[in-house]
Amino acid sequence: MFQESASLAAWKAKSFEFSGQGLLRFSYNHFAVHTVKAIYPGSFDPVTNGHLDLIARGAKMFDHLVVAILRNSTKAPLFTEAERVEMLTEGVRGFGNVSVATFHGLLVDFAREQKANAVLRGIRAISDYEYEFQMALMNRRLAPEVETIFLMPDAKYSFVSSRLIKQVFELGGSVDGLVPDFVVERLKQRVPHL
């Protein structure tokens, strides 16, 4: 029978954190298990149930999750930055370890400013993967200490995007179940139906 060496046992004790349900966290830094803070960036124009699904799962994975709205001057958003902050704040109200912020510029600069060591990104389709993979590699080059973690959404949200929600709503289609009710109400106030 295999006998674990004292040094291997000590390394495992420092590198893995277990609960009654199994592995909680693995630390690449085998000297200590550290706090993991992640950034989930996006435009969230508007927030969808797909976004909220990733936020809920990210809140379980990380000690703290910052949902970060990118201020992008090249896009003309439907909702103002303040409105998107309000919607996201309402959407994450039940999570004690999730906050909402805005940023501009490089994501890795914001991650460093927040002292975050991970970026959470959602992948819906292979087309998302190609773009996200390229961005993750550039972010790694700029900030090797910040890891990118990809999550797939729940299958029922795998096709949902903010852009699609706006298009369907503008054409008179129902988006019920794809966005929170408070987003439907804001869409009704903002978007004229055909």
- Predicted confidence at residue 60, as pLDDT, reads 96
At 72, phi and psi to the nearest 5?
-115, 110
Residue 161 annotated in ligand binding: yes
**Average pLDDT, integer, range 22-44:** 67
Catalytic annotation, pick one of 14, 25, 57, 124: 124
Identify whether 34 is a catalytic site residue: no
Q: Which member of 51, 64, 84, 186 is catalytic? A: 51
Place of tokens 């299958």: 155
The Cα–Cα gap between 34 and 4 comes to: 25
* pLDDT at 5 > cutoff 60: no
- For 161, residues 6+ apart whose C-beta sits below 8 A from its C-beta are 48, 50, 124
Lowest-pLDDT range, 12-26, 96-110, 156-170, 174-188? Answer: 12-26
Q: Looking at the structure, give the CATH architecture of the domain made up of residues 34-190.
A: 3-Layer(aba) Sandwich (3.40)
Burial label for 101, CB within 10 Å (0-12, 13-18, 19+), is middle
What was the pLDDT predicted at 126?
Answer: 80
pLDDT band at 30 (very low <50, low <70, confident <90, very high): very low
Map out the domains of the chain as residue ranges.
34-190
> 122 burial class (0-12, 13-18, 19+ CB within 10 angstroms)?
buried
State pLDDT tens for residues 68-127: 999 977 778 999 999 999 999 999 999 999 999 999 999 999 999 999 999 999 998 887
**Catalytic: which of 64, 84, 162, 186?**
162
Indicate the pTM of the whole model.
0.81
